[in-house]
Chains A and B, each alone.
Chain A
């Protein structure tokens, strides 16, 4: 698997660390216990298209949002998230 980092270009998956399902939304701090435990534990775990976080830890260290197919491992769109995304936008 090779991921195209928007900053560094195409690199081996060995340079990246997996950050899990990017569709899970963090509840508000005062959200209910049920909402929090659902966010912490429950996953859709789809067979096919999956949106997920990766960090390019052995490159630019940016966090990325990656579209990837869990059956074929084909990588789709890769975008920056967090502070870096804002920098790119500005």
Chain B
């Protein structure tokens, strides 16, 4: 498949744009592979890409129940950041940001990564203290962090209500300038094309209905709606469907609940907001897409759900928080909203691990922060599958940490499935 470049753009334009080929083959399943990745979302595709690129393992199939880009990778608020405090998280997410910074060149596909900054607002002196602590922890880990006072916040986001009359006056904020946004669809398509070019089979409309086991109980392949496929290793990266897929492998209980998260896009505007801002006295994050729509979201609905739609109380909550921050957005119309199913882990941190069965590998528990992790998640999962052991970056993301008192609880808020 041809390299994308300014020359291919001009050449195809001169031929009336009739010469473009599909970005990846519509592969039919072969009887067996070295590695099968269940789930053709961002993480699964990135895993296949890095298996081929970093480890030379190209006899790989990615099995997707629907179509590439139809799940959470195409339904998120596109925020990329690494402003975490705990070592288990900060080095992993910082590696992800570093991969993001080179991703368009690496994939030969423009993922439109825009380092426009991510600003977390604080609304009280104690919150500023907590942000100073987190910012210091970030800097110690080599991650950029700037603590802003109210005036600096007002200068950085001119539209934001920083007046003393605000319902929750802005005390300051923690800014990560290297954070930002990326185009989510391009991330899915870019990884799919990159994996395909290295020989990976991307098989859409292929649901995994069961797992093949040998006499010792080890996983030796999968049963699918398109027949049995054998593999030496099977990696599962299916986000909100983790519980259902793992049940088909005989794992009935996991430290994960599936919850619905809604996100919203307004009608397009001229440029008004050139960064990502998050509210600190509630939960809201907002940025403006390159198409002009304000993209925003808040908390999960809060109850177990596999329905890809939410309820109205969250819509009202999110809209009121947006107007608390930006009263001048009051006449905006909502263009659309959607709900995606999040794999909410019990400590708010993910799982990238070997097991829990021989021949099986698990990538899950991304809560509602999986998009930013896409490159590093694929990179670490590929390493874990190829070497049968975790990389240092994901060594803390085990499944048994919940039972060995080694949880990575960024908020320090206890064992509940609604961290982020």
Seen from chain A, the residues whose Cβ lies within 8 Å of a Cβ on chain B are 1, 12-14, 18, 20-21, 33-34, 37-38, 40-47, 50, 52, 68, 70-73
Contact = CB atoms under 8 A, between A and B. Distances in A.
B311 A1 contact: yes
Contact of B243 (A47, A71, A72): A47
A19 to B, nearest CB: 9
Contact of B403 (A18, A20, A37, A45): A37
Nearest to B258: A45
Nearest to B347: A41
A75 B305 CA distance: 12
Indicate the size class of the contact surface on chain B: 20 to 34
A37 B402 contact: yes
Contact of B254 (A13, A21, A43, A68): A43
Contacts of B303: 18, 52, 68
In the complex, the 8 A-B pairs of residues with the closest C-beta atoms, listed nearest first = A45-B243, A14-B313, A42-B253, A41-B255, A41-B402, A37-B403, A18-B303, A47-B306
Given A13-B311, A14-B313, A47-B244, A42 B255 contact: yes
A24 to B, nearest CB: 10
- Looking at chain B's contact residues, the main secondary structure is mixed
A1 B417 CA distance: 21
B256 A45 contact: yes
Contact of A18 (B252, B254, B302): B302
Nearest to A34: B403
A73 B304 contact: no
12 contacts: A14-B312, A41-B403, A43-B417, A45-B243, A45-B253, A45-B256, A46-B243, A47-B243, A52-B303, A68-B303, A70-B305, A70-B307
B346 interface: yes
A25 B247 CA distance: 21
B169 to A, nearest CB: 27
B311 A43 contact: no
Given A41-B255, A41-B402, A72-B307, 6 more contacts: A37-B402, A37-B403, A50-B304, A52-B304, A73-B305, A73-B311
B207 interface: no
Contacts of B307: 70-73
B417 A12 contact: no
Given A18-B303, A37-B402, A37-B403, A45 B257 contact: yes
B70 interface: no
B158 interface: no
Contacts of A50: 304
A43 B257 contact: yes
Given A45-B243, A45-B254, A70 B306 contact: yes
Contacts of A68: 303
